Structure 1
Amino acid sequence: MDARISKQRTALVLDQPFFGALALRLKVVEDPSCKTFWTDSVSIGYNPSFLSQLNDLQTRGVLAHEVLHVAGGHCWRQGDRDPDLWNDACDYAINPIIIDAGMQLPKGVLIDARFTGKSAEEIYGILAQEKRSREKQRQEQQGQGQQDSGKPAGKSGSQPGVPNGGSSPSQSANGDHSASRPSHYSAFSCGEVRQYVADDRARQEAEWKVAVHQAAKAAQMRGGMPGALQGMIAQAVEPAVDWRPILHRFAQESSPTDYSYLMPNRRYLHLGLYLPSLHEPAVGDAVFVRDSSGSVWDETQAQFAAEIVAVNDGVRPRRLIVMDCDTHITQMQIFERGDAVDFELQPVRGGGGTSFVEPFRRLAAEGIHPAFLVYLTDMDGRFPDDGPSYPVLWASTTPLNRAEKAPFGETVEVIC
């Protein structure tokens, strides 16, 4: 281990007890193949050349940066997300916390006031949406340029300083993100987060949650826990709840079914078994509302659409009604029970403000009393004054500790 890293890790133990206690759990390894630093919840790797460019306080800050990646659960939560974009989202989430704790980071790291207080998942959704918007705009500009000049689209649209045909992953990620900033702004990641992939992943994650909780309690006793850090740690150690089983359970419980011997199950009669068949007198319409104001990102909309199909297949309501709504209903799709199993939902339509009033008003005006209603939204909008008599589940894309509280119904946090 480099003597400077050893010295600054000791300084963390003395001056920043939360970071110091957790830093001692990580093995430090020299890794000239990496660009800066990295962690996978077992080790901290560093490039000696990059380390030589840092002063002592910056070295301490980067060590704390890597510790916070692990403490925040970033080594286990990437899922199917783009690794480079996920790494940037995690950096945006933790860098302000490092600064808030009174430490230094190298100049030019990823910091954006828009993301202060947001989770890595929320930030990732925003970055991914912005990246798609830029790519779409770039394609439109290339197409327009081709029409205007008659030149092949592949010969236009390259950015200054970036070779035509692409760049390295980190360059691509940072280049895309800084495209919305002033041209002089250049940001980079001072520490990579890598996913822990060993078979004992669940045990490793659980052990780290315990360690984070203990380190936080010890630091609080010494008065060394900034407010921003407390909020992130509280979220990190809280058990993650998969929203999809909750959605399916809500739909099943809101659509009571029963078994009756009046109509025996024909599937088992040839075996001589007289079993009851499923009797569904109370299963009516199932309503799903998608917030189309633009505040719910495409990945979340896609996953929600998949769950709509799955719930419809499991509950088999008389009708499946899917509404898109910003301030008004922008699209309404109705599928009868007899429709093809592989029906396809239309893309979300909308893009204005947000109001939750119109779907409930529309249902009442048309005399529709559904078995249940599920509303996917960021919870930032006007709620109806009075709740309906049927069950409502709010699928919130904003963490519940920051989301607006609905005046009626249940709420589940959607983490995609």
Structure 2
Amino acid sequence: MDPRISKQRTALVLDQPFFGSLALRLNVIEDPSCKSFWVDGVSLGYNPAYLATLKDLEIRGVIAKQVMHVANGHCWRQGDRDPDGWNDACSHAINPIVTDSGMLLPAGALADPRFKGKSAEEIYAKRAQEAREKEKGAKGGGKPEAKPDAQSTEQPGGQPGGASPPQSANGANTPSAESASPDPQPAPCCGEVRQYLGDDKPVKEAEWKVAVLQAAKAAQMRGNMPGGLQGMVQQAVEPIVDWRAVLHRFAQQSSPTDYSFAMPNRRYLHMGLYLPSLNEPAIGDAVFVRDASGSVFDETQAQFDGEVLAVNDSLRPQRLIVMDCDTKVRQVQIFERGEPVELLPVRGGGGTAFVDPFRRLAEEGIRPAFLVYLSDMDGSFPVEEPSYPVLWASTVPLRRAKQAPFGEMLEVIC
């Protein structure tokens, strides 16, 4: 380990015990093949040439940043996302927390104020959506077509940071750092997130959640816990609820079940007992409403559509009704039981209001078995509560989402 890293890690233990105690959990590895720093939940790698370009306080800040990536679970949650885009999103989420804690990051570290307080998933989706809209605008204006998934952030000076994974460009851009790279590529970032690839990922994730809580308690006892970290710690250790399971459970619970003598329980007939059996009649209409205002990102819409099809296949409702609504219902698709279901793209693009789907159902005399509404929850709600179950699938974390006046709410963060 380079003595400068050892010195700054010790300084964190003494001055910022929350960061310092977590930093001690990472094995420090010299890695000249990387561009700057990296972390994967077990090890902290660094390029000695890049390290030489940093001031001591910047080294301390970079170590804290890498620790925060693991503490926030970024090493476990990338999934199928583009590595560069995920890297940048994680940096936007983490860097303000590090700097607000009184530490210094290299020049050019990502910290868009629009994203402060948002999760990496939210930031990734927003930036991906913006990239697609920019690409569409470039096509319409006759400009050169942008490459798909071009989500790397511009470096200071306006140079795109399109490094190949897993080394994404999401940070500093100094001449000295650039000279450390043998290739004529953008300057290295101040750290990257690598996904933990071991088979024991759930165990590692659980261990880090415990470590984060212990580090927070120790820092609080010493009076060295920055206020901005309180909310982060709470979010980092919250159990992750599978929204898909909640959606399926809601749909199942909304299907009618009751005991009926029409079909007696055969288990007791030989005893001369005529007892009712559990009757599960075919479910009525299942209604799903997709927010078409443009505030729900394409990846979320696609995953939601997949779950709509899964619910339809498992419950086989009398009819599957899918509405697209911004301020008004813009598209309605109705599929009878047994009919092949191919959902059309979302149609709309205006503001957000939740009234029209409920009004349309009431006017047409449709009383569905249940209704699920996918939205960012930023709109006007109906005044009257409907008589059927409603589930609001919020694309905004529930702690920040506008609360619905009726029905249940679940958090959908893809």
Asked if TM exceeds 0.5, the reply is yes
Residue by residue over 1:288-345, the C-alpha shift from the partner in whole angstroms, topping out at 9 and shown as x without a partner, is: 01111111100000000011111011111111111111111111111111412xx201
2-side partners of 1:380 and 1:189: how far apart? 35
The amino acid of 1:75's aligned partner reads: C
The amino acid of 2:236's aligned partner reads: A
Match of 2:359 in 1: 361
2-side partners of 1:261 and 1:304: how far apart? 39
Match of 2:163 in 1: 168
| Aligned length in residues | 380
Aligned mate of 1:396, from 391, 394, 397: 394
3-state SS in 1 of match to 2:293: coil
CA contact (8 A) 1:369 1:390 kept: yes
Matches within 5 A, 1:133-144: 133-141=133-141, 144=142
Match of 1:374 in 2: 372
Cα drift, residue 227 of structure 1:
3.3
Match of 1:180 in 2: none
2-side partners of 1:66 and 1:145: how far apart? 38
2-side partners of 1:167 and 1:6: how far apart? 31
CA contact (8 A) 2:84 2:162 kept: no
Match of 2:38 in 1: 38
Percent of pairs with identical residues:
70
CA contact (8 A) 1:110 1:189 kept: no
Cα drift, residue 145 of structure 1:
6.4
CA contact (8 A) 1:5 1:59 kept: yes
1-side partners of 2:294 and 2:250: how far apart? 26
3-state SS in 1 of match to 2:409: strand
Residue by residue over 1:358-390, the C-alpha shift from the partner in whole angstroms, topping out at 9 and shown as x without a partner, is: 111111111111100000011111111221111
Match of 1:178 in 2: none
Match of 1:270 in 2: none
Cα drift, residue 278 of structure 1:
8.8
Residue by residue over 1:182-237, the C-alpha shift from the partner in whole angstroms, topping out at 9 and shown as x without a partner, is: xxxx9963111111111111111111110001101111222323333221221111
Matches within 5 A, 1:1-400: 1-141=1-141, 144=142, 168-169=163-164, 189-257=189-257, 280-281=280-281, 283-340=283-340, 343-400=341-398
Give ranges in structure 1 of 5+ residues lacking alignment: 147-152, 176-185, 265-275
Larger displacement relative to structure 2 (223-232 or 118-127) = 223-232
2-side partners of 1:374 and 1:249: how far apart? 12
2-side partners of 1:287 and 1:127: how far apart? 30
The amino acid of 1:230's aligned partner reads: Q
The amino acid of 2:320's aligned partner reads: L
Change (3 A) 1:161 1:407: closer
Give the TM-score normalised by the residue count of structure 2: 0.86
3-state SS in 2 of match to 1:331: strand
Cα drift, residue 281 of structure 1:
3.7
1-side partners of 2:323 and 2:188: how far apart? 41
Match of 1:267 in 2: none
3-state SS in 1 of match to 2:78: coil
3-state SS in 2 of match to 1:169: coil
Match of 1:408 in 2: 406
Cα drift, residue 261 of structure 1:
8.2
CA contact (8 A) 1:292 1:348 kept: yes
CA contact (8 A) 1:110 1:188 kept: no
Match of 2:176 in 1: none
Residue by residue over 1:247-268, the C-alpha shift from the partner in whole angstroms, topping out at 9 and shown as x without a partner, is: 001001001245878579xxxx
2-side partners of 1:161 and 1:213: how far apart? 40
CA contact (8 A) 1:257 1:283 kept: no
1-side partners of 2:362 and 2:385: how far apart? 12
2-side partners of 1:69 and 1:174: how far apart? 16
CA contact (8 A) 2:19 2:64 kept: yes
2-side partners of 1:103 and 1:379: how far apart? 35
Give ranges in structure 2 of 5+ residues lacking alignment: 147-153, 171-185, 265-275
3-state SS in 2 of match to 1:289: strand
Cα drift, residue 173 of structure 1:
6.7
1-side partners of 2:228 and 2:404: how far apart? 25
3-state SS in 2 of match to 1:8: helix
CA contact (8 A) 1:30 1:45 kept: yes
CA contact (8 A) 2:248 2:311 kept: yes
1-side partners of 2:5 and 2:67: how far apart? 13
Give the TM-score normalised by the residue count of structure 1: 0.85
> CA RMSD, aligned part only?
2.8
3-state SS in 1 of match to 2:317: coil
Change (3 A) 1:312 1:207: same
The amino acid of 2:394's aligned partner reads: S
1-side partners of 2:343 and 2:227: how far apart? 43
